[in-house]
Structure 1
């Protein structure tokens, strides 16, 4: 089988030393004496490295017993493009760490660190994983309570960190994941994991991707400069919590959800994306509350997405519409701000039969460059919305929609202020 090239694309390397980029990461010193090891050695007791392992032709080190600690002690485990830097084939409660004040590098393997099926309760911390082929750290069907924390993961030819094949109940926290040519962090067919406080920058693909993965928790991660979407939930990634994350300057949407249900998207700040701040496509029964999706090409966009709650979000200052519902039914859109957008504040388009329409309640749509609220087609409900100082209509609703009262409009360019609903001044 032809091997993929490990050569990084031009422009990926930055003119900064690894130590300067990753800083000093240290943990408590170990009581074990330093030892000189050899490439491919299987370890059954705790060890502290006292020298680098260079040009390993296969694996670097192999975990051979449970409850041991491998302390790289500031040294490098280096390969020739094959094998795994440190491999664990199912031994529990192990720790891979670095107690020194200088980086401990694992580099030039297929995988930097690989936790295979049956591994649980193990820790990967304070390591520098760089220039590996498939992933810096991968959990492959690893059992619960493995912790990947405070590592520097950069310049892999593919993914930075990956949880695959049913790796469930693990945590990935406080890692710096930089300039990997594939996904920054990938969760694939794995459930119940916690990703918190990771900084993911300049990924060659998406920043943080969930595929076929449910019941995961994504908290306070920062995603910047991805060549695709910042945070992506796709292909039956159901019932996840995505809260308090930040994205900026990514090439696609700040957060996209497709073919997935029951996700909670709460209090995220998603700015300066290449597409909408939040995009839902065939995504149902989800909750979007308290997100700030200002300063994107679009704010919140729903396409063929039904039964969602869009509540108390800020969708201002976009170059398109603040909130768009296209061919989407039975959604509640309430208490949102959709102001100062270059097109409409809120736009609803698509046929709905009686009882399946969307509900627009208590939203504010002011100073937009077109209509404040525009509802095309029929069977939707508008109540207690405010639309002021827009450059076209305050509220424009086609015939056949329900005016539930309490809508207000003033200062809009169209003298009648509203069409299809009655607006108080």
Structure 2
């Protein structure tokens, strides 16, 4: 019967299409690697870890633009040397959802002469060793509590944006115009901002984490933060020579520090206003 045969063929085609659609939906991002990842690999396509990775030296290198590395809840661990993730002149790189630690540098960023600066976004990544970047654009974001951690940074001629993250260790930013640290917890370390213009540092808690603005830093905004538990909380702000270049320190709470704000030079065009200074511990001298 031709009609029954036609209906059967149509049902078969529909079933095949449904199966293919389900398979495509479960396959993950286009171009994602399904191969096992090994120490020393150069990643040129989207990659998802399927297990923890332990490396005696360097771990992984991102070797193409727009590569997404999904740690998938796993940890990349070193033996105290090498680099966890290396990038040279790569744009659009992303890493997410896991931990990198046990290396000299968790992330190492540099560039090839004449090539673009590296652009890296890390979301919900815990970096247990410092970042070393010259230059680079780095964005760190946490979408849930304790998911984002940066354990030290040296950034030269780059841009740093941090939102909802925990920072520890020594953080140094040199010529980092337009950088921002917001809504984050900074503890047991220090922040040095040098020769940096138009930075934004807002709604953070600096706990035993003094901040210094130095060496021709201009038009930075330090607002609505809490500075606590430091011998000198900050801010050794450098002099600016034009009123429009003034650094602004406003609406902050300084509490439990021996010294709130300190400078060893006469300053011009530094704006300090509407801050609260609350001494809750006795001075040591």
TM range (shorter): 0.7 to 0.9
User: Is 2:120 the counterpart of 1:127?
Assistant: no
Which residue of 133, 142, 164 corresponds with 2:155? 164
| CA–CA distance in structure 2, aligned partners of residues 274 and 223 of structure 1 | 14
The offset of 1:120, in angstroms, is 4.5
Secondary structure class of the residue paired with 1:122: strand
The offset of 1:57, in angstroms, is 2.9
2:195 corresponds in structure 1 to: 212
Which residue of 240, 244, 263 corresponds with 1:280? 263
2:149 and 2:167 in contact (8 A); partners too? yes
CA RMSD, 1 decimal: 2.4
1:111 corresponds in structure 2 to: 105
Which residue of 199, 207, 213 corresponds with 2:185? 199
1:296 and 1:319 in contact (8 A); partners too? no
The offset of 1:296, in angstroms, is 6.3
User: Is 2:132 the counterpart of 1:148?
Assistant: no
Which residue of 176, 180, 183 corresponds with 1:190? 176
| CA–CA distance in structure 2, aligned partners of residues 138 and 200 of structure 1 | 18
1:304 corresponds in structure 2 to: none
Q: Evaluate the alpha carbon distance shift between residue 166 and residue 91 of structure 1 in structure 2; reply closer, same or farther with a 3 A threshold.
A: same
1:175 corresponds in structure 2 to: 165
| CA–CA distance in structure 1, aligned partners of residues 118 and 99 of structure 2 | 23
In the TM superposition, what whole-angstrom CA distance separates every residue of 1:153-192 from its partner, at most 9, and x where no partner exists? 36xxxxx242522113x412211124x3xx2x32123222
| CA–CA distance in structure 1, aligned partners of residues 90 and 132 of structure 2 | 15
2:22 corresponds in structure 1 to: none
1:163 and 1:190 in contact (8 A); partners too? no
2:141 and 2:148 in contact (8 A); partners too? no
1:232 corresponds in structure 2 to: 212
Greater per-residue helix proportion: 2
Gaps of 5+ in 2: 1-26, 241-245
| CA–CA distance in structure 1, aligned partners of residues 118 and 183 of structure 2 | 22
Q: Which has the higher contact order (CA 8 A, sep 6+)?
A: 2
Q: Which runs of 4+ in 1 moved over 4 A?
A: none
Gaps of 5+ in 1: 1-28, 99-103, 155-159, 298-317, 321-425
Q: Evaluate the alpha carbon distance shift between residue 138 and residue 126 of structure 1 in structure 2; reply closer, same or farther with a 3 A threshold.
A: farther
2:206 corresponds in structure 1 to: 223
Secondary structure class of the residue paired with 1:278: coil
2:88 and 2:118 in contact (8 A); partners too? no
The offset of 1:258, in angstroms, is 3.8
2:56 corresponds in structure 1 to: 57
2:203 and 2:224 in contact (8 A); partners too? yes
Which residue of 294, 308, 313 corresponds with 2:278? 294
Q: Evaluate the alpha carbon distance shift between residue 216 and residue 196 of structure 1 in structure 2; reply closer, same or farther with a 3 A threshold.
A: same
Q: Evaluate the alpha carbon distance shift between residue 34 and residue 270 of structure 1 in structure 2; reply closer, same or farther with a 3 A threshold.
A: farther
The offset of 1:239, in angstroms, is 2.1
In the TM superposition, what whole-angstrom CA distance separates every residue of 1:275-302 from its partner, at most 9, and x where no partner exists? 2x222332320111111112268xxxxx
| CA–CA distance in structure 2, aligned partners of residues 91 and 173 of structure 1 | 22
The offset of 1:30, in angstroms, is 5.4
| CA–CA distance in structure 1, aligned partners of residues 72 and 239 of structure 2 | 44
The offset of 1:122, in angstroms, is 2.6
Total equivalences in the alignment: 242
Q: Evaluate the alpha carbon distance shift between residue 161 and residue 34 of structure 1 in structure 2; reply closer, same or farther with a 3 A threshold.
A: farther
In the TM superposition, what whole-angstrom CA distance separates every residue of 1:345-374 from its partner, at most 9, and x where no partner exists? xxxxxxxxxxxxxxxxxxxxxxxxxxxxxx
